[in-house]
Amino acid sequence: MSRGFHPRPKMSFTSALGVGTAGLDEVMDLKLAKQYTSAELTRRLRENTVAGIEILDIELLTGKTPKIKAESAWYAFPVPCELELAIQKNIRQFMTSETYWVTRVKKRQKINIRPHVLQLFLEQLQLRMQLEVSSEATVRPQDIIEILGLAELPHHGNFLTRTKIQLQNKKKETT
């Protein structure tokens, strides 16, 4: 627990979710005051977790382990079938370009997001994207949604879901 007037558990999520984005496979770093077996910690967390959160896996790390960092994140976004051909065309144009500049108004900087979009495709009416997590130039899933001409869809009930976080130094997977 942290110290102070309102002690809180020492826990952090690897990569914060944007407002209105669902998360299916999130990663949390939790510092413990005493050692537990993986099974015991899993049991205790499951007993004390709020509804809707499921503990899938626990990996116990030593104090010498560097802080967990995300390398990339996978997202899914449902799209209507009548937009499929236009989206496919826009995806091809974006993925074959070497640069795509966006302006971050608050930071007053222009960044090339194209190198940070690792994968982008349409699969069973789901826009799927793998975006690099970087401290230098962040590509937001909303950037891609806007670039592909889908900015109005969230206002009509289509919502973004982060489906997987790929950690640094972990086996690369596709989701």
pLDDT, tens digit, 9 for 90 and up, residues 78-132: 999 999 999 999 999 999 999 999 988 877 889 999 999 999 999 999 999 999 9
Residue 81 has φ and ψ, to the nearest 5°, of: -60, -30
Query: Among 112, 110, 115, which Cα is nearest to 95's?
Result: 115
Report whether pLDDT(7) > 50: yes
- 70-167: which CATH architecture? 2-Layer Sandwich (3.30)
Residue 89 has φ and ψ, to the nearest 5°, of: -65, -45
Q: What is the pLDDT of residue 175?
A: 42
Q: What is the DSSP letter of 49?
A: P
Residue 115 has φ and ψ, to the nearest 5°, of: -65, -15
Report whether pLDDT(170) > 70: no
What pTM was estimated for this model as a whole?
0.82
